[in-house]
Amino acid sequence: MNQYIDNGQTKNIAATILNILAGLFCFITAFIGVIVGMVGLYFSSNVTSKLAAGDEVGAQQAASTANLLGNISFVILVVSIIAGIVFLLLFGGAVILDLL
């Protein structure tokens, strides 16, 4: 019988990857996403130490917080890319014509 133990470690790995990628890409488009990603990485790094100390509830809470912050960072990334495209479509031609 395969028994699944939900101690937050799987969610922690996914949140770490999401926070790193969203933080890196947000650095290009929106700096606030980097800050949110860094805070998410902090919570993600707490999961392993809390599990080692035997605090499974704290580890699950830290993993959930890291996952939430990773999702927020990803949303900031998507919104900033869409805003950049809209800005480029609306004002990009005028800026290019001013340079000529």
User: DSSP strand E in 8-82: where?
Assistant: none
Flag whether pLDDT at 25 surpasses 80. no
According to the model, what pLDDT value does residue 62 have?
87
Q: Between the CA of residue 53 and those of 27, 57, 78, what are the distances in Å?
A: 34, 11, 37
Q: What is the pLDDT of residues 38-92, one digit of tens each?
A: 888 888 888 888 888 888 888 888 888 888 888 888 888 888 888 877 877 777 6
Any idea where the domains of the chain sit in the sequence? 9-99
| 26, 70 Cβ separation under 8 angstroms | no
Helices and strands (H and E) in the chain: how many: 3, 0
